[in-house]
A and B are shown apart, each in its own frame.
Chain A
Amino acid sequence: MANNGTPTTHSLPLCAARFPTLAAALEYASRGETGYNFYNGRGQLYCKLPYSELYAQAQELASRLVDLGVERGSRMVLVAETCPDFVRFFYACQFAGIVPVPVPAAVHLGGREAYIQQLRKLIQSAKPELAMAPADYLEMLETACEGLPVQHVGGAEYFDQQSQNSQPLEPLGAHELAYLQYTSGSTRFPRGVMIKQKAVMHNLNGILQHGQEMNENDRCVSWLPYYHDMGLVGLVLAPMASQRSVDYIGTRDFAMRPRLWLNLMSETGGTVSFSPPFGYELCARRVRPSDLERLDLSAWRVAGVGAETIRPSSLSNFANALQEAGFDRRAFLACYGMAETSLAISFAPLERDVHIEYVDADRLGHEGIAVTVDPMIEDRRVNRFVRCGKSIPDLDMEIRDTDGDVVPEKQCGTIFVRGPSVMSGYFNEPEITAEVLSEDGWLNTGDMGYLVDGEIIITGRQKDMIIINGRNIWPQDLEFLAECQPEVRPEDASAFSVTDDEGQEVAVMVVQCRQADPAVRRDLAERLRASVQAEMGIDCRIDLVPPHTLPRTSSGKLSRSGAKKDYLQRLDIKRVVDKSSAKRVAA
Chain B
Amino acid sequence: MKNDFDLLALIQRELQQIKPEIQTITADTDLVADLSLDSVQVLEMCTAIEDELDVSIPVNRLGDVRTAGQLIAVLQDITST
Contacts and interface: CB of A to CB of B under 8 A. Distances in A.
A547 B63 contact: no
Given A107-B59, A108-B63, A256 B37 contact: no
A256 B43 contact: yes
A489 interface: yes
Contacts of B64: 110, 112
A106 B43 CA distance: 12
B33 A109 contact: no
Contacts of A255: 39-40, 43
A20 B60 CA distance: 38
Contacts of A41: 50, 56
A234 to B, nearest CB: 23
Contacts of A137: 60
B20 interface: no
A140 interface: yes
Contacts of A1: none
Contact of A111 (B43, B58, B63): B63
Contacts of A109: 31-32, 37, 39, 42, 62-63, 65-66
29 contacts: A41-B50, A41-B56, A107-B59, A107-B62, A107-B63, A108-B63, A109-B31, A109-B32, A109-B39, A109-B42, A109-B62, A109-B66, A110-B31, A110-B63, A110-B64, A115-B63, A136-B59, A140-B60, A140-B63, A252-B59, A255-B39, A256-B44, A256-B47, A256-B50, A489-B38, A512-B38, A548-B32, A548-B38, A548-B39
Nearest to A492: B38
Contacts of B37: 109, 547
Q: For the complex of A and B, list the 9 residue pairs with the smallest distance between their C-beta atoms, beginning with the closest.
A: A112-B63, A136-B60, A107-B63, A514-B36, A110-B66, A256-B47, A109-B42, A256-B43, A547-B38
Interface of A: 41, 105-112, 115, 136-137, 139-140, 252, 255-257, 489, 512, 514, 516, 546-548
Interface string B1-39: 000000000000000000000000000000111001111
B24 to A, nearest CB: 16
Contacts of B58: 136
Nearest to A515: B36
Contact of B42 (A108, A136, A514): A108
Contacts of B39: 108-109, 255, 548
A547 B66 CA distance: 14
Most buried by B among A109, A255, A489, A546: A109
A110 B32 contact: yes
Contacts of A111: 62-63
